[in-house]
Structure 1
Amino acid sequence: MSDTSPQRSRLRFPSFSVQVILGLALGLLLGWVALQMGPVADGSANWLTTTLDTIGSSFVTLLKAIVPPLVFLAIVASIANLRHVTNAARLAGQTLLWFAITAAIAVAVGIGLGLLFQPGASSTLDPAAGSEPGRTGSWIDFLNGLIPGNFLGLGASTQLAEDGTASTSISFNVLQIVVVALVVGIAALRSGKAAEPFLAFNRSALAVVQKVLWWVIRLAPLGTLGLIGKAVATYGWDLLSPLATFAIAIYVGLAIVLFVVYPVILKAHGLRIRSFFRGAWPAIQLAFVSRSSIGTLPVTQRVTERNLGVPSSYASFAVPLGATTKMDGCASIYPAISAIFVAQIFGVDLSLTDYLLIAFVSVVGSAATAGLTGAVVMLTLTLSTLGLPLAGVGLLLAIDPILDMGRTAVNVAGQALVPTVVAKREGLLDVARYESSSAADLFSDDAAVPSDGAAASDEGVAADEHAADEADDRQPVSVA
């Protein structure tokens, strides 16, 4: 008897990268509409701006919520895997070395562009309009950032509103979580067989966390819509005119590092430039719209492992470390050009020693401010080291959100680049996966493509590499 039941049609969604691009385009449109609507009668944001803000901030909050367990569990698992890796110390040393090398190149680019563009000399801003920021950076912050305040690296702060109500917010310090995870992982290794049940639980918990992460990343197109829409609706581009030369210098520097320096490094190591950007682009794109390296951390680690072919046992250590200390945009290019800008605004002549100090602070200073991440904190550290007025920071705050988008994108690109380069130098990179990477690989089954040079080290921890992403999660949606 023939089957006469009607055929079920299948609704096929566009690829993930196309979804993100569509979200970006729609966000730009809705942001422009919200900007034209303007604020309501009492001066507060209109309903569309508020909606876009809620969508975007909710997505970033979800990503940040997954960061503490992801970083802790992944680093403990990676330490456990180091039992099978004979060059663990060399990997760590190479990672820190390339963090410093790329930072030094980035700050050299920033100093060069600052001298070329002379951003302070062409600005119409009044130095008296500056004000000191609420947060500053100091070298003692490095020690404070290393010493965990509690087991989870969590902190709480209470703010008193004008109406007398108090609100408490919880935050986390990723650097402290890295330190705690390293100590726990090493202790588990030293405990031998007694720690096997703990490591087995850690692997299972990591698989669960990564599954939740998979669901959150699926919301990236919607998050992109809200984030870019809110940025357009809130800031527009009118604020750029008094600081146009400064903003152009920053973005030229970011473009040179992202599209010239990084490709040269990739080419020097025999890696295809197009493959890197194709694989890392989901993280770079999300970093641009979210303006948060920590919020983008789960995606950065995922693309580094899945798309770029870096073994999970190494990437789970290098990427979180890079998210706290590797900031070529915020800690190298931006403070270099900004310091020159502030010096010119206040009529201070910088000597060769001052430029060397800028380079020194940019290379090692990001570690010193890891407990207080942010370009403003890094800038205050640079200015205070040079003896320049901190009031100059207040002159730049108006356009900081616009600049922060490009800075964060470069930060994240560097955080994916260094582990890729080090893995290639050490013979650990899965070159076949690297060359065939795409945004779609974010949701592929890792078990299908073992990491080159890391099969032995990752054996027994396949669950750590997202093997739980079953095929049914990727099936088209059926509709009647």
Structure 2
Amino acid sequence: MLETFLNGYLQISNWTTVFFIFFFLVAVVMIRKLDKMEYNYTKILVLAMMIGVVLGLLGNWMANEYPTITKEVSSWYGLVGYGFMDLLKMVAIPLVFISMIRVIITTKQDFKKLAIRTVIVLATTTVIASVVAILLSGILPLTESLTTATDTQNSIREVSTFVTTLRGMIPSNAVDIFAKGNILAVIVLAFLLGISLKSLESNESVQPLIRLVEATYQLIRKLAVFIMDLMPYAIIPLLANVVITQGNSTILGAINFVVVLYVAIIVMFVIHLVIVRLFKQPVKEYLKAVKKPLLLAFTSRSSLGTLPVTIDAMTTKLHIPSGIADIVGSFGANMGMNGCAGIYPTLVVITLATMLKIPMDISFFIMLVFVVVLGSFGIAGIPGAATMSVAIVLTGMGLVEYYPLLGVILAIDPILDMGRTMLNVNGTLVAGVVVNELEKKK
């Protein structure tokens, strides 16, 4: 009876699980003490990442002799790591909703022009990301053969048409869009409510509602900051989980793809820094300001979950007005993702075309970039969203039936997603810098 309780309910079948839980708690206590000593926050985050990698490598090595580690330790670590991400996702949607309403009723700027400018900037960087991937695939040729993994999905996810995606942005049920996390529909609803409230702002009877919006905004921002303070403790299990479950066995089957992807990410990151410099933002100051959201994005693999941290970095570190930060952050978490919706699907299509010996000429690449940009709209910023983006692009390029050939790539998706998500978030931050400077010139 006790054994069933421990194994089935507590998921502690041997000493190894207790060992990993214990050392995680030791790490938590150590980080807590460093935090109380007001130790450098960046160093704390780096230390947390190092601890996560060490625990992950140790767990992956021991999993050969103790297979329960993969399930049990990952489950316990997921309680903290993914629980933290759940809290961030929980606060992200109400933060976007109330921020959008507040922006409209308080900003003196033209909201429609600001939104259009944001979309154009995000789409432009996605085009650049796709072109970078195309050029690098020629310089660093992708593999011509990949063995299909047996431990991953081999059927394509349901793909919506472009018109259906646009239709999904129209809120038909206010409760339903919040329950389903349809953040684009939430933005549209907030926009409509904000415009309506803005038109009544001179009416004395709506002043209490306007004050309520401001008070709610301050409350949610405070809650977001409180949750973000837990980030160092969550990074350890988040990173450890990826290493424990993935290890290095599956990555060997697609090492060429991983190398090209990360080289493309690095090149695009450098291009981001060039753009930042062109728009009068010192690169050194910029990197110092954005290190927190980039580290969280890398370990959490969620652009949407990182959204509160991204907006906070734009307002408090980059000194971008909250109105611009809220709009750019909200749009950037759902469209124009340079990593997941730009570089990644481009490389996947080229990989498939290479494997199938499909001729690739200039018209092929122009069509690919066009489909990639269209597919980048409305991709939710959550872990795994890149799979949906790939599904859309493959459908647009007529290669959807060959999706199962990507088995190995899908198997190591968490490893790929870390770099992709970091680039997504950096693209949003860069868009914030660009849009802010354009607004100043206007």
TM over 0.5: yes
Which letter does structure 2 place at the counterpart of 1:120? Answer: T
With 69-78 and 341-350 compared, the bigger mean Cα shift is at 341-350
Aligned to 1:173: 182
Q: Is the 8 A contact 1:224 1:289 kept in 2?
A: yes
Task: Work out which of the residue numbers 220, 228, 236 in structure 1 matches 2:239.
Answer: 228
Aligned to 2:3: none
CA distance in 2, matches of 1:141, 1:253: 31
After superposition, what is the alpha-carbon deviation per residue over 1:285-325, rounded to whole angstroms, capped at 9, x for unaligned? Answer: 10000001111111111111111111002211121111011
Assess, with a 3 A threshold, how the Cα gap between structure 1 residues 41 and 171 changes in structure 2: closer, same or farther.
farther
Assess, with a 3 A threshold, how the Cα gap between structure 1 residues 289 and 406 changes in structure 2: closer, same or farther.
same
Which letter does structure 2 place at the counterpart of 1:145? Answer: G
Which letter does structure 1 place at the counterpart of 2:181? Answer: F
Task: Work out which of the residue numbers 411, 415, 436 in structure 2 matches 1:402.
Answer: 415
Q: How far off is 1:425 after superposition?
A: 2.5
Assess, with a 3 A threshold, how the Cα gap between structure 1 residues 255 and 78 changes in structure 2: closer, same or farther.
same
Aligned to 1:350: 360
Aligned to 2:331: 321
Aligned to 2:200: 191
After superposition, what is the alpha-carbon deviation per residue over 1:233-275, rounded to whole angstroms, capped at 9, x for unaligned? Answer: 11112211121111111000001011x2111111212211111
CA distance in 1, matches of 2:181, 2:327: 18
Assess, with a 3 A threshold, how the Cα gap between structure 1 residues 64 and 337 changes in structure 2: closer, same or farther.
same
Aligned to 1:98: 121
After superposition, what is the alpha-carbon deviation per residue over 1:339-392, rounded to whole angstroms, capped at 9, x for unaligned? Answer: 000111123223322211111122222115459971111111111111113333
Which letter does structure 2 place at the counterpart of 1:407? Answer: R
1:56-95 to structure 2, matched below 5 A, reads 56-82=81-107, 84-85=108-109, 87-95=110-118
Which letter does structure 2 place at the counterpart of 1:383? Answer: L
CA distance in 1, matches of 2:140, 2:187: 39
Aligned to 2:302: 292
CA distance in 1, matches of 2:423, 2:40: 25
With 131-140 and 181-190 compared, the bigger mean Cα shift is at 131-140
* Alignment partner of 1:133 is 2:143: no
CA distance in 1, matches of 2:40, 2:391: 43
TM-score by length of 1: 0.78
Q: How far off is 1:204 after superposition?
A: 0.5
Assess, with a 3 A threshold, how the Cα gap between structure 1 residues 43 and 327 changes in structure 2: closer, same or farther.
same
Aligned to 2:57: 32
- Let me know the Cα RMSD of the aligned residues: 2.5
Aligned to 2:404: 391
After superposition, what is the alpha-carbon deviation per residue over 1:72-118, rounded to whole angstroms, capped at 9, x for unaligned? Answer: 11111001112x23x44432232122112211111100111122222
Q: Is the 8 A contact 2:342 2:372 kept in 1?
A: yes
Gaps of 5+ in 1: 1-9, 156-169, 429-452, 454-480
**More helix by percentage:** 2
Q: How far off is 1:39 after superposition?
A: 6.7
Q: Is the 8 A contact 1:284 1:409 kept in 2?
A: yes
Aligned to 2:17: none
Which letter does structure 2 place at the counterpart of 1:314? Answer: I
**More strand by percentage:** 1
CA distance in 1, matches of 2:36, 2:427: 38
CA distance in 1, matches of 2:193, 2:65: 53
Which letter does structure 2 place at the counterpart of 1:202? Answer: V
Assess, with a 3 A threshold, how the Cα gap between structure 1 residues 371 and 230 changes in structure 2: closer, same or farther.
closer
* Alignment partner of 1:116 is 2:126: no
Task: Work out which of the residue numbers 351, 374, 386 in structure 2 matches 1:341.
Answer: 351
Kindly tell me the number of residue pairs found equivalent between the two proteins. 402
Aligned to 1:426: 439
Aligned to 1:472: none
Gaps of 5+ in 2: 1-34
CA distance in 2, matches of 1:11, 1:208: 25
CA distance in 1, matches of 2:36, 2:431: 40
Assess, with a 3 A threshold, how the Cα gap between structure 1 residues 229 and 353 changes in structure 2: closer, same or farther.
same
Aligned to 1:456: none
CA distance in 2, matches of 1:290, 1:126: 27
Aligned to 2:314: 304
Which letter does structure 1 place at the counterpart of 2:376? Answer: S
Assess, with a 3 A threshold, how the Cα gap between structure 1 residues 349 and 131 changes in structure 2: closer, same or farther.
farther
Q: How far off is 1:408 after superposition?
A: 0.3
Which letter does structure 2 place at the counterpart of 1:80? Answer: I
Assess, with a 3 A threshold, how the Cα gap between structure 1 residues 276 and 38 changes in structure 2: closer, same or farther.
same
Which letter does structure 2 place at the counterpart of 1:341? Answer: T
Q: Is the 8 A contact 1:120 1:342 kept in 2?
A: no
SS in 2 for 1:367: coil
* Alignment partner of 1:205 is 2:216: yes
Q: Is the 8 A contact 2:146 2:408 kept in 1?
A: no
SS in 1 for 2:39: coil
CA distance in 1, matches of 2:423, 2:64: 33
CA distance in 2, matches of 1:403, 1:371: 15
* Alignment partner of 1:273 is 2:298: no
Which letter does structure 1 place at the counterpart of 2:137? Answer: G
Aligned to 2:375: 365
SS in 2 for 1:426: helix
Q: How far off is 1:213 after superposition?
A: 1.0
Q: How far off is 1:149 after superposition?
A: 4.2
After superposition, what is the alpha-carbon deviation per residue over 1:23-68, rounded to whole angstroms, capped at 9, x for unaligned? Answer: 1111112212222221786757354333222211111011011112
SS in 1 for 2:70: coil
Assess, with a 3 A threshold, how the Cα gap between structure 1 residues 78 and 40 changes in structure 2: closer, same or farther.
farther
Assess, with a 3 A threshold, how the Cα gap between structure 1 residues 88 and 395 changes in structure 2: closer, same or farther.
same
